[in-house]
Amino acid sequence: MASWALSRISNLQKHLSPNIPSPKGEGLVKISPEVSEALSLGKPVVALESTIISHGMPYPQNLETAKEVEAIVRQNGAIPATIAILDGVPCIGLSPEELERLATIGRKARKTARRDIAHVVATGGNGATTVSATMFFASMAGIPIFVTGGIGGVHRHGESTMDISSDLVELGRTPVAVVSAGVKSILDIPRTLEYLETQGVCAAAYQTSEFPAFFTEKSGCKAPCRVDSPEECARLIEAHNSLMLGTGILISVPIPSKYSASGNFIESAIQKALKEAR
């Protein structure tokens, strides 16, 4: 608890004195006035990624979805901080105009993982942040919670291709709690959970003992641990931060039953696509 309090005090000093040079490079980052004020006052802030806006769906559905997600965060008493890079400047918290600009840029924005951040900034480009880049910037700003759809993971046949999402490595080194609908269904979920264990990442499932799979409630994989209430989630995050474990936390909330697709149907479609791709 004491370490977390010291972190909040340090964060408060940073926002009250924004011109003081920082060893973490925050001077390169633009934090919106609303997000900055919320962090300074210790109010809850939730980080949001932006790849879903640029690459997830076409305009104007992407803008409508982004606004709806931000509205849901506000309705639940927190301040949304959508993260993106615009004209080479990492932005933590987008104005309505910036949100619309990113939505209209769409796929012309670079899909930006941690690997790509320096190049997008150095070239003055526009970047939509993935899970790994969003976690990086959220941690830099002192935002402890990040909400997304599905995280990346180990791809099928990853033992041969070494195709492993940087999301997993980021979870292993960046202390941000990521709330998602689980691992994307197209991935190798058992190997993804093994990789998270190797990285020392606490992977919890919310109100279920089975790890969810994004489109579906069930994956056939047992969740490493279970939490059943917001209070249990808070205690888990508090214990993690107080112990300074240095890794992220993954809390997977299954998609509601009324929106869930059949696991067998999704898997058969994936297998058909993989066969056609080969």
Q: Which residues are catalytic?
A: 49, 184
Q: What is the 3-state secondary structure (H, E, C) of 176-218?
A: CEEEECEECCCCCHHHHHHHHHHCCCEEEEECCCECCECCECC
Q: How far is 23 from 257, CA to CA, in rounded Å?
A: 46
CA pair distance 49, 60, nearest whole angstrom: 17
User: What residues contact 266, with CB distance under 8 A and at least 6 apart?
Assistant: 185, 213, 215, 216
What letter would DSSP give residue 88?
T
Q: Kindly report the CA angle at 128 between 127 and 130, in degrees rounded to 5? A: 125
Contact criterion met (CB below 8 Å) for 133 and 127: yes
Instruction: For residue 131, give Cα distances in angstroms to 29, 137, 194, 267.
Output: 18, 10, 19, 24
